Amino acid sequence: MSYLPSTSSLLRSPMANKVVCVQGKERIAPNPPQFGIGGLVPAPQDSGRTSSHSTEHLGSYERGPPLAVDLPKPIFSGSPMWHDSGDVLLHVHDRGTEYKFRVHQFILSMHSLVFRDMFQLGTQSKQNVLVNDLPVIPLMDPVEDVCFLLSAFYNGIEDIRESHDLDAALAVLRLSHKYQAERLYKAVLGLLLESWPLNRTDYFTMHPEQRQRVASSIKLIKTARAIQCPALLPTAFYELATIPTEQWTEHEENLLASLSSEDLRSLFLGKKRMLNRYKVFTSKLLDEHSPNPYGNCRCCNRRQIILKLRAELGVAFLDGTPDLEKSSALRSFGDIGCVKCVNCEGWLFSLLRALEVDIWENIPVDFNLYRVEKVEYASLRRCRAFR
C-alpha cells in the first residue's frame, strides 16, 4: 500500500498570510502548511527567500531563528506519517514540493543510528529551526521512500511481506542503509533474498512464472549497486540472462538501458560465458574417456543417448538463452526413448546435475560479480516471490 496521494488528490485549504512576531520584529509568515491524505503536508513555497535545504544539512538540524507557525490538524489522521504527539518535523523536498511529517524522536532513534546521533548533536545547539517548538530536520529523499520508511519504522515490514510490493521493499532497503537502521536493513534484505535466493534449489522450486521478472530484476540490480549489496546481484543477473529477449516488452527494453555500462557489459558477457559452458559440456559427452559410472549397459545405446541429449541441449544455442530448465525438462526420461534401464537413467541424471551445478555456481565468475561466500548460499525459507 502506498501512502503517497497524487498531487491532484491533496486537499488544500487556502489560508491568508499572517503577521507574526519573530525576535521582536514583525514579518509576514508564509501560509501554514496544508495537509493531505495520509498525513502528507505540502509545505508552502516562499519565493522571497532561498531554500536552505541541501544534503549538507544531513546529520544536523537546519540552523536559523525559531518560527511561530500555526500547525493545523491534518484533515485525515495520517499515522504513521503524522502524529499529534510527535516531537520532531521531517521536511522532505521532492520534485519542487515540500512535505512535512510529524513523528517521534524516540522511534527514529530506536531504529536509526544516524537519527540517534543527529538528535544528540541537536540538543547541544541553541540555534536550531523550531516550528512551534518542534525541531525541523530536512531530508532530500523521495517522498514515497520516506513514507515507506516511516511505515516500516512504526509498523514493521509485514505489509511489504503480504503485499509483495517490490518498490516499497527497495525503498526501505535504500533508506535503512542510508540512515543505518541495521535491523530493518537485514529484515528487508532477507525478504528480497527469499525471492532472488542464492541457493539453486530454492530458486528452481519457485514457479517458472515467478522467475520471469525483467523489470524487477533490473530495479534490484540498480538498488544493490547503489548500496553495495553484492548478495542481491547473482540471481538477478542470471534471471535477466535466461529470459529470451523476444519476450521482453518495450518498457523492459527501455529500462535495461538505465543500467550502467559496466552492468550491461557484465550481462552480455555473462550470457555468452554461460552458453559456452553448454558447448564445453556437450563436446565432452562423446569423449570415450568419460566413463559411465554405472558400467556398460547392453540394453541401452549410450551413443544414441548422448546424441539425443546433445540435440535437446542444442536448443539453448539456437535460442541464445542458457536456460537450465532445458536440461531440467529432460529429467522426464520418457522423452528420451533410448533410456531403458535404471542405471543409464541415473547416469544421465548425474550428467545433467553436473551441468546445472557448474552453471549456477559460476554465475559470479561469468558475470564479473563479487564472489559471494558459500555460507550465503544456504537455503532460505521462501515466501511468494516479488513480481
- 36-71 residue pLDDT tens: 333 344 444 443 433 333 333 344 333 333 333 333
Categorize the per-residue pLDDT at 307 as very low, low, confident or very high, splitting at 50, 70 and 90: confident
Q: What is the pLDDT of residue 186?
A: 94
Q: Which of 339, 341, 318 is nearest to 330 (CA)?
A: 339
SS3 87: coil
pLDDT exceeds 70 at position 287:
no
Angle made by CA atoms 82, 84, 85, in degrees to the nearest 5: 110
Q: How large is the C-alpha radius of gyration of the chain?
A: 28
* Residues 246-259, mean pLDDT to the nearest whole number: 92
pLDDT of 295 reads: 52
Q: What letter would DSSP give residue 212?
A: -
Terminal CA-CA length for the chain:
15
What does the alpha-carbon distance between residue 261 and residue 181 come to, in Å, rounded to a whole number? 31
**Which one-letter DSSP state was computed for residue 67?**
B
Query: For residue 8, what pLDDT is reported?
Result: 33
Report percent pLDDT > 90 for the chain. Answer: 36
pLDDT given at position 205:
86
Q: Is the pLDDT of residue 176 over 90?
A: yes
DSSP state letter for 211: G
Q: How confident is the model at residue 340 (pLDDT cuts 50, 70, 90)?
A: low
pLDDT band at 298 (very low <50, low <70, confident <90, very high): low
Q: Which of 124, 112, 210 minimizes the C-alpha distance to 154?
A: 112
pLDDT band of residue 113 (cuts 50, 70, 90) is: very high
How far is the C-alpha of 195 from the C-alpha of 101, rounded, in Å?
Answer: 32
Number of neighbouring beta carbons within 10 Å of residue 50: 7
Binned at pLDDT 50, 70 and 90, residue 342 comes out as confident
Matching residue, cell 531504529:
111
| Residue 120 pLDDT grade (very low, low, confident, very high; cuts 50, 70, 90) | confident
- Pairing outcome for strands 41-43 and 97-103: antiparallel
Q: Check residues 300 and 317 and name the one with the higher pLDDT.
A: 300
Above 70 in pLDDT, residue 219?
yes
For the stretch 20-45, pLDDT in tens is: 333 333 333 333 333 333 334 444 44
| CB neighbourhood size of 341 (10 A) | 13
> Could you tell me the CA-to-CA distances from 278 to 233, 234, 281, 318, 360 in Å, in that order?
22, 19, 5, 12, 12
Comparing 19-33, 139-153, 260-274, 356-370, the range with the smallest average pLDDT is 19-33
For residues 100-125, give the mean pLDDT.
87
Quote the pLDDT of residue 171. Answer: 97
C-alpha cell at 69: 507557525
Neighbouring-strand partners of residue 18:
29
Q: What is the mean pLDDT of residues 304-308?
A: 73
Average pLDDT over residues 147-170: 94
Mean pLDDT of the chain: 73
